[in-house]
Amino acid sequence: MKICLVFTPFHRPNSIPFGIAYLKSNLERNIPKVRVKNIDLNVIFFNRVIQEGLNGLGKQCLSNDLECIPLENLVVSGEIKRISERLKKRPSTQKDFNLYVNDAYIFEKFYKEVIDCYQPLFKSFIEQDILTGVLAKILHQDVERILTEEPEIVGFSILAENNFSYSLALAKLIKLRTKIPVILGGAMMAHLEARELLEAFDFIDFIFHGESEIALEKFIKFFPSKKFDKVPSLAYRKGHHIQVHEREYINDLDVIPFPDFSDFDLESYISPEKVLPVISSRGCYWKRCAFCTHNLPYSNYLRCRQIKNVIDELEAQMARFKIRHFLFVDESISPNRLREMSEEILKRDLPVYYGAEGMRPEDDLSYELLEKSYDSGLRWIYLGVESVTQRLLNKMDKGTNVEAVKGIIENCYKIGICPFISYMIGFPTQTEKELREECLFLKEHLPYSTVETSLFTLLKGSSVLNNPDKYKIAVHSQKVLFEMNNKVVHSPVFNFVPKKGLTTHMAEKIADNELFSESHTSFDEIMNTVLSATPFRLSPIDIKTDHLKNYLSSAIKILNTKKLKIEEDYRHFLLGISYKQLNQLELAVAGFERAEKIALEEKFKAKIRFQLGECYERKGRYHEAIHSYEKALEIFSNNGAVYLGLGRALFYLKEYQEAIKKLNKALELNYKEGQVHYLLGFCYEKINNYKKAIAEFKKAEKVEPEDSRINFFLFRRYRSIGQLEHANRELDKWALKFKRIQHRAKSK
């Protein structure tokens, strides 16, 4: 029997999938007649994009976001290709390292924008059968790649929401062409309702919603008879009913053979060194964090491999793949377990470098232990700090204390280990004062570490969701991933409103302003594991705008050669985008006007007209801007960006009543509410409706709490109508925010 297991985009193209590598090794060892072919379509996708381009993605994107252009000018010009090649080379000097950081920043921006542009295309195909040309091309290529293997079963490994849509789209196409059974598995399945998935998607046959090594083995053995009653963690249709079996967990992890990465081209991953993932345990030894649901795929108790078995794996993979970099991807690694692994590595004198996820910054993570771990090859650790306010740590039930956190970060720096601080923004009841103090702490420790901030998310199965009164929140609806044929697939995420403390939106605005007012990039786990083993310190480095200018200037030269295999209207459009990003507006207008003249597709013309409108507006050609925006509205009739542009242009032409109408339409569409309320405040001010002006400025402040200008204008308006007490309060707020801005400028 031939089985094809597939890992799909979108994940960073430096990460080697290990879930399907475990399934391959286990099946081929225990069922000799089975052959498993693993395909990492994620790295194949990104290498294809780098080599061949995005095939006009920005032109065909179904997104209503007219501002979304995924740096395609850098792709067609070959700049992304050159950046990716440089990212595969280990920096040898501090100067090289600094350039590496800038390349990583551009590639990360490109990676995220590609995801944002593709996801609406996948959703439209899955829900409405709309298959655009750019999506059809890549999906049909991928289906051919899978079917060439002549599999009897196809399985998709879904790690997170990012690669869910891509997997569903491929499954749907496979079912349109064949009768091959399709399976969904992976960690994401433990967070969704298997019954909902089978009811919504008739092209999915089976779902594994728990650990799959033993379960899939049993499934294959029973596959000829189709008697799956004894297969654990399985959901499937049985007649007109859906069967969902209970999960079963593997108690002895040492019985599972080492993962087999032989199907992956390790040289194709975008990283200076090959880094293999290792998991030494499943589950979490703490398992009490109020926000966390990572335990769902692994049960509620910790199971550990024998230390000898873990280090045997390192030795075996080093010998087989000629590598020396590893990343431990455990949910949690206790200090005692880190000590035992370090001692075993030292005992065997293995020349390895490794990173470790899942570290709690607790007292037992001592200087002596960190030093020993460094000697064994540890160069990077992911510290689940989440907060440096003791009240919040207690509320989260983290079981850590602030002093230990500070000491561990500083000890890591002294020893030579790069700590990667995971920090949560907007946990329920967090106050503005607490958040600002935490941001100050994090900035003080940026020279010692890198920081990853995440916005608090209310998840199904978390203690916060199960105890809303304790955490002072009002739980609203559960979010929806897909809706089709009157069936709904829910996300594991819930909407909520805090009854006390900051909203997540306000917390995000404050943190963005306080922490990342200067450009800063942090590497992902793979890059960190490799680069922390260099002598160059991972520290905040400003992303110099001239580097992006250099990339864009190079792109313009190549776009002007006319040698690229892209449509002429799109070439001029990308030239316009490039010049616009460089603020060379005359040249940008020329590019867009030429693109508009020769473009045939009306939707693409509307995108061009929106860009033209923005350029005209920035040049003060407001009548032409209004004309372009109105033409764009003929296609994008419900687009907030267009209405905001119209509102701005009308404001500058002193047509305040018309501007108010357009801006209110943008508000109805929930578009950039802070900017819209801000501009509405000025409109009402100009027509002497000071009461409404004040109301709009106050609404703007709620959305943009860090914008000191709003308080200045509120001060001015209150003073003009004689409300001096209110005026003085706004002046004090303006002075406080302005002082923070000056402090940040000095720090930078």
Q: Determine the pLDDT at residue 67.
A: 58
Mean pLDDT for 456-467 is: 96
Burial class (CB in 10 A: 0-12, 13-18, 19+), 647: buried
Q: Which residue has the tokens 């450009």?
A: 519
Average pLDDT, the chain: 89
HEC string for 667-718: HHCCCCHHHHHHHHHHHHHHCCCHHHHHHHHHHHHHHCCCCHHHHHHHHHHH
Between 52-66, 329-343, 458-472, 614-628, the lowest mean confidence (pLDDT) is in 52-66
Provide Rg for the chain, Cα atoms: 27
pLDDT in tens, 615-636: 999 999 999 999 999 999 998 8
605 contacts: CB under 8 Å, gap ≥ 6: 596, 599, 631, 635
Are 140 and 177 in contact, with CB atoms under 8 Å apart? no
Are 156 and 2 in contact, with CB atoms under 8 Å apart? no
Q: Determine the pLDDT at residue 485.
A: 81
Domains 544-637 and 640-748 share a fold: yes
Return d(Cα 659, Cα 679) in angstroms, integer. Answer: 9
Return d(Cα 639, Cα 661) in angstroms, integer. Answer: 14
Residue whose C-alpha is closest to residue 5's, from 172, 244, 182: 182
- As a 3-state breakdown, the chain gives helix, strand, coil percent values, each rounded to 5, of 55, 15, 35
Quote the percentage of the chain above a pLDDT of 70: 94
Categorize the per-residue pLDDT at 30 as very low, low, confident or very high, splitting at 50, 70 and 90.
very high
Residue 722, both tokens: 């004689």
Categorize the per-residue pLDDT at 661 as very low, low, confident or very high, splitting at 50, 70 and 90.
very high
pLDDT in tens, 277-321: 999 999 999 999 999 998 877 777 899 999 999 999 999 999 999
Q: Determine the pLDDT at residue 518.
A: 40
Q: Determine the pLDDT at residue 737.
A: 81
Are 628 and 616 in contact, with CB atoms under 8 Å apart? yes
723 contacts: CB under 8 Å, gap ≥ 6: none
Mean pLDDT for 408-427 is: 91
> Residue 106 is inside which H or E element, if any?
helix 94-128
Q: Determine the pLDDT at residue 748.
A: 52
Burial class (CB in 10 A: 0-12, 13-18, 19+), 536: middle
Q: Determine the pLDDT at residue 746.
A: 60
HEC string for 152-178: CEEEEECCCHHHHHHHHHHHHHHHHHC
Q: Determine the pLDDT at residue 543.
A: 45
Between 445-449, 616-620, 673-677, the lowest mean confidence (pLDDT) is in 445-449
Q: Provide the CATH number for the domain formed by 273-531 in this structure.
A: 3.80.30.20
Residue 458, CB half-sphere, CA atoms under 13 Å: how many? 22
Residue whose C-alpha is closest to residue 418's, from 515, 528, 273, 274: 528
Torsion over CA: 606, 610, 616, 622 (sign) = positive
Residue whose C-alpha is closest to residue 432's, from 531, 378, 510: 510
Q: Which residue has the tokens 């357009």?
A: 662
pLDDT in tens, 57-67: 766 665 555 65
Residue whose C-alpha is closest to residue 716's, from 681, 741, 745, 746: 681
End-to-end CA distance of the chain: 61
The length of the chain is: 748
Residue whose C-alpha is closest to residue 695's, from 720, 677, 707: 677
- For 52, 216, 377, 479, 587, the CA distances from 184, given in Å and listed in that order, are 30, 11, 37, 21, 50
Are 550 and 578 in contact, with CB atoms under 8 Å apart? no
Categorize the per-residue pLDDT at 204 as very low, low, confident or very high, splitting at 50, 70 and 90.
very high
Instruction: Give me the amino acid identity at 76.
Output: V
Q: Determine the pLDDT at residue 517.
A: 45
Residue 16, both tokens: 């080697």
Instruction: Give me the amino acid identity at 503.
Output: T
Three-class SS state of 410: helix
pLDDT above 50 (res 586): yes
Q: Determine the pLDDT at residue 516.
A: 57
Burial class (CB in 10 A: 0-12, 13-18, 19+), 229: exposed
Chain centre to alpha carbon of residue 178: 33
For the chain, give every domain's residue range. 2-244, 273-531, 544-637, 640-748
Are 274 and 529 in contact, with CB atoms under 8 Å apart? no
Q: Determine the pLDDT at residue 514.
A: 75
Burial class (CB in 10 A: 0-12, 13-18, 19+), 371: middle
DSSP letter for each residue of 471-502: TTEEEEEEEEEEEETTEEEEEEEEEEEESSS-
Pairing of strands 303-304, 281-282: antiparallel
Mean pLDDT for 581-590 is: 93
Q: Determine the pLDDT at residue 541.
A: 43
Torsion over CA: 660, 666, 670, 673 (sign) = negative
Are 135 and 118 in contact, with CB atoms under 8 Å apart? yes
Between 49-63, 111-125, 185-199, 649-663, the lowest mean confidence (pLDDT) is in 49-63
Categorize the per-residue pLDDT at 191 as very low, low, confident or very high, splitting at 50, 70 and 90.
very high
Between 168-172, 424-428, 638-642, the lowest mean confidence (pLDDT) is in 638-642
Pairing of strands 378-386, 418-425: parallel
pLDDT in tens, 31-65: 999 999 999 999 999 999 888 877 777 666 655 55
Categorize the per-residue pLDDT at 521 as very low, low, confident or very high, splitting at 50, 70 and 90.
very low
Are 279 and 244 in contact, with CB atoms under 8 Å apart? no
pLDDT in tens, 230-269: 999 999 999 889 999 999 999 999 999 999 999 999 999 9
76 contacts: CB under 8 Å, gap ≥ 6: 53, 54, 555, 558, 559, 564, 566, 571, 574
Categorize the per-residue pLDDT at 744 as very low, low, confident or very high, splitting at 50, 70 and 90.
low
Return d(Cα 177, Cα 293) in angstroms, integer. Answer: 37
Mean pLDDT for 512-533 is: 65
pTM above 0.85, yes or no: yes
Cβ neighbours of 265 (radius 10 Å): 10
pLDDT in tens, 358-373: 899 999 999 999 999 9
Between 129-133, 514-518, 638-642, the lowest mean confidence (pLDDT) is in 514-518
Three-class SS state of 111: helix
Cβ neighbours of 328 (radius 10 Å): 25
pLDDT above 60 (res 477): yes
**C-alpha dihedral (210, 213, 216, 222), degrees to nearest 10:** -120
Pairing of strands 450-455, 378-386: unpaired
Helices of type H across 397-518:
402-415, 432-445, 463-466, 504-515
Bigger pLDDT: 738 or 429? Answer: 429
Q: Determine the pLDDT at residue 451.
A: 80
Q: Provide the CATH number for the domain formed by 544-637 in this structure.
A: 1.25.40.10
Q: Which residue has the tokens 């406080």?
A: 736
Q: Provide the CATH number for the domain formed by 640-748 in this structure.
A: 1.25.40.10
Return d(Cα 559, Cα 550) in angstroms, integer. Answer: 14
pLDDT above 90 (res 189): yes
Backbone angles phi, psi at 299, to 5 degrees: 80, 180
Helices of type H across 68-93:
72-76, 79-87
Quote the percentage of the chain above a pLDDT of 90: 66
pLDDT above 80 (res 550): no
Residue whose C-alpha is closest to residue 41's, from 202, 161, 158, 211: 158
Return d(Cα 357, Cα 126) in angstroms, integer. Answer: 34
Give the strand order in the sheet containing 275-278: 275-278, 325-328, 353-359, 378-386, 418-425, 450-455
Return d(Cα 557, Cα 543) in angstroms, integer. Answer: 23
pLDDT above 80 (res 77): no
Mean pLDDT for 718-733 is: 90
Mean pLDDT for 572-576 is: 91
**C-alpha dihedral (51, 56, 57, 62), degrees to nearest 10:** -170
The residues facing 378 across adjacent strands are 354
